[in-house]
Amino acid sequence: MKLKNIIAYIKRKQFYFALFTCCVTLFLIAILVWVRPKEEEQEIANLNSDVVSNESTEELTSNLVENDKTDDEELEPNEDFTENDYEETDTVEAINPITINTEKVVGEGDYGDPDTYEEHLDPELIAKEKPVMVEIAPVVKPNISYNAEKEKMLWPVEGDILIPFSMDTPVYFKTLDQYKINPALYIAANVGNDVKVAAEGVVETIKTEPESGVTVTIYHGNGYKTTYGQLNKQLSVKEGDLVKKGQVLGQVEKPSKYHVLLAPHLYFKVTNNEKPIDPIKLIK
């Protein structure tokens, strides 16, 4: 019966018991926090005293005195050493005279006129030293000259225009989620479709661009260039190749990360003196 009364009393006073327990815990933590730094300070003091006791003050003083004596000492000459001792102990060997060969060397002398110098030299030596002159054939540039008024370009692929050329009004790019001007055409095409050269020219550069992927630029003369992007790495041309109108230069590849939300397509740009122009105006 008493035990039940005690348990009932504890249940009624459990808040005070919890408060008492917290106070006791905080008191113990405070003691530990206060005692621990004192112990560490004592350990550091003991270590310092051990270090100092290893070398006494008397030893330090004697070392300083000895150093001062050493600095004040001057080197005194050895009184027992004489010049006769030097002559008896050390001997100097006689130096043999150097003989100079005065014999005339073949090819030596002043020949005066530089034009006659080679007459005194070995013909084989002259042949080795003389540079060999090699004639380099001049680079023949291909005769290409695109005339926009007389010749129309071909469509590089057949397909709908996904994003039109627009240098005045910004157009919406879905993947980038922004509006910006567009200096090229984005022409729909299936992955693997052949891409044809729009006009005769020379392959100027082959690069991998972040936005247009594998990109080929062809120069057509008179400042005209065409650029083909989103191509497969396995190209049919290389830099410097002379390409014909309608020749296959490669195949369409999946869009780059800048256009993943756009259907597979060909990036096609035309410039004249580095200024973008609308490709539709030049394509028949």
pTM equals 0.52
pLDDT at 61: 52
Greater confidence (90 vs 177) lies with 177
- The per-residue pLDDT for range 5-36, each reduced to its tens digit, is 777 776 666 777 777 888 888 888 888 777 66
78-82, 147-151, 208-212: range with highest mean pLDDT: 208-212
Q: What is the mean pLDDT of residues 31-52?
A: 65
Q: For 86-97, what is the mean pLDDT?
A: 48
Most confident of 19-23, 72-76, 104-108: 19-23
Among residues of the chain, what percentage have pLDDT more than 70?
58
Q: What is the tens place of the pLDDT at every residue in 246-282?
A: 999 999 999 999 999 999 999 999 999 999 999 999 9
Q: Is residue 269 within 8 Å of residue 276, measured between CB atoms?
A: yes
The closest alpha carbon to 265, from 198, 210, 192, belongs to 192
Q: Can you state the angle between helices 2-12 and 14-53, rounded to 10 degrees?
A: 80
pLDDT at 58 over 70: no
Share of the chain above pLDDT 90, in %: 47
Q: Which residues pair with 209 in a beta bridge?
A: 213
Mean pLDDT, the chain, rounded, equals: 77
